Amino acid sequence: MIMMFFTSCHKSVVTEVSIIDSTANNVVDYSSVNKLFDAMRPSAQTYRVEAGTNAVVRGMYGTALKFYPNSFKDQAGNVVTSGIVNVTIYEYYGIGGQMIAGSSATAAGKLLDVKGQVFVSASCNGQQLNANKYSIGFKSNQPMRQHNALFVGKVLAKDSVVSWTETSGAVGTATEGTVLDSFNIVTVDSSGTKLDTMMIHTNYNRFDSCTSFGWISAANFFASGGNLTNMTVAPNDTMFKSTNTVVYLAFSDIRSSCYLNAYNNTTHQFSFNTGYEVPVGVRANLIAVSNIGGHYYFYIARNMTIANGMNLHINLQPSTLRNILDELQSL
């Protein structure tokens, strides 16, 4: 057995608007949407840190959390200064990760260019803890000059889609651009004998004063500067409906995605609900996923250009969970 140790050296929001104009129109059932992706989600990562000390946790996909001696609070608001804290992380990077997470990339009715989304929780002796202040860094494949903003997510109901709100400067202070961080990966065998040490250099979009656990994201608003439009999507069979199917756009040139969050029971078409539209002229991938009686169906149209008043007919075909996951991870 070989072990590896790390040592340090969304106003109208697409996920919130629920306007129903008549009995023919329904908002997409978010509970069904999230259950659709249950089998695709990554496992939780749990790390043990000691309260009252400085500690660094690095997720499998690169997220870096730095805890200070006063980072954890109990439910009464008291700073926890001793004891072992279990920190749990779910990491979602890339457009496919957003979809699998059951999260859109929108806030205040605008698209977000997302660097990464994570879910963080902490507990001590079986009791959930709140955050006082800690640092969070989102891994970046390359240095980025643009100053990123910190967003916190909120699930409006059980199994619902995550909606996002930008934090104030007092809640999350971003470093300027990206930070180059270095750390060692030490490989040992089952007897504890060190086999190799490798220095890793990674760029991070880092915030030094995040004050909440739960859904956290680093992102910027996307400004298209063009016209906006709604669109309709009609599946090839009426068995594909809002209770078992989700249709969304994954934008090709930014790390952003959004759900078509309305469904018409009469025309059997998906569209955007009142208060949300998408930019005309941008490139996007149209994706549809369905699970009916344990059988998966899938459709993807890559790199199409959004046109004004777009009406599409799509042909979902039988697929497998593995194939769908591979397709989403390739976005």
Same domain for 155 and 249, yes or no, is no
Residue 317: per-residue pLDDT: 96
Are 242 and 284 within 8 A, CB to CB? no
pLDDT of residue 172 exceeding 80, the answer is no
Domain boundary among 221, 245, 280: 221
Each residue of 280-329: pLDDT tens digit? Answer: 998 999 999 998 888 999 999 999 999 999 999 999 999 998 898 888 88
User: In whole numbers, what is the pLDDT of the chain averaged over residues?
Assistant: 76
Are 220 and 205 within 8 A, CB to CB? no
Are 192 and 5 within 8 A, CB to CB? no
The count of structural domains within the chain is: 2
Which of the two residues, 252 and 225, has the higher pLDDT score? 252
Residue 7: per-residue pLDDT: 34
Same domain for 149 and 241, yes or no, is no
Overall average pLDDT of the 18-23 stretch: 27
Each residue of 251-288: pLDDT tens digit? Answer: 878 878 888 888 999 999 999 886 678 889 989 999 99
Percent of the chain scoring above 90 in pLDDT: 33
Overall average pLDDT of the 11-32 stretch: 36
Helix (H) or strand (E) run with residue 6 in it:
strand 2-8
Cα separation, 90 vs 162, whole angstroms? 14
Residue 312: per-residue pLDDT: 95
The answer to whether residue 24 is domain-embedded is no
Cα separation, 238 vs 236, whole angstroms? 7
Matching residue, tokens 């549809």: 288
Same domain for 213 and 280, yes or no, is no
Residue from 217, 106, 203, 200 nearest 145 by CA: 203
The answer to whether residue 29 is domain-embedded is no
The top-scoring range by mean pLDDT among 59-63, 208-212, 268-272, 274-278 is 268-272
Same domain for 175 and 73, yes or no, is yes
Cα separation, 33 vs 159, whole angstroms? 8
Overall average pLDDT of the 28-47 stretch: 68
- Which structural domain range is residue 269 located in? 228-329
Which of the two residues, 179 and 15, has the higher pLDDT score? 179
Which of the two residues, 129 and 30, has the higher pLDDT score? 129
Residue 148: per-residue pLDDT: 77
Same domain for 322 and 191, yes or no, is no
**Window from 94-98, 113-117, 190-194, 322-326 with minimum mean pLDDT:** 190-194
The answer to whether residue 280 is domain-embedded is yes
Which of the two residues, 221 and 85, has the higher pLDDT score? 85
Phi and psi for 221 in degrees, rounded to 5?
-70, 140
pLDDT of residue 245 exceeding 80, the answer is yes
Are 224 and 252 within 8 A, CB to CB? no
Give the distance from CA 81 to its chain's centroid.
31
Domain boundary among 221, 236, 256: 221
pTM: 0.73
Output the CA–CA distances (angstroms, integers) from residue 197 to 6, 55, 63, 144, 312, in the order listed. 10, 21, 21, 28, 54
Same domain for 202 and 315, yes or no, is no
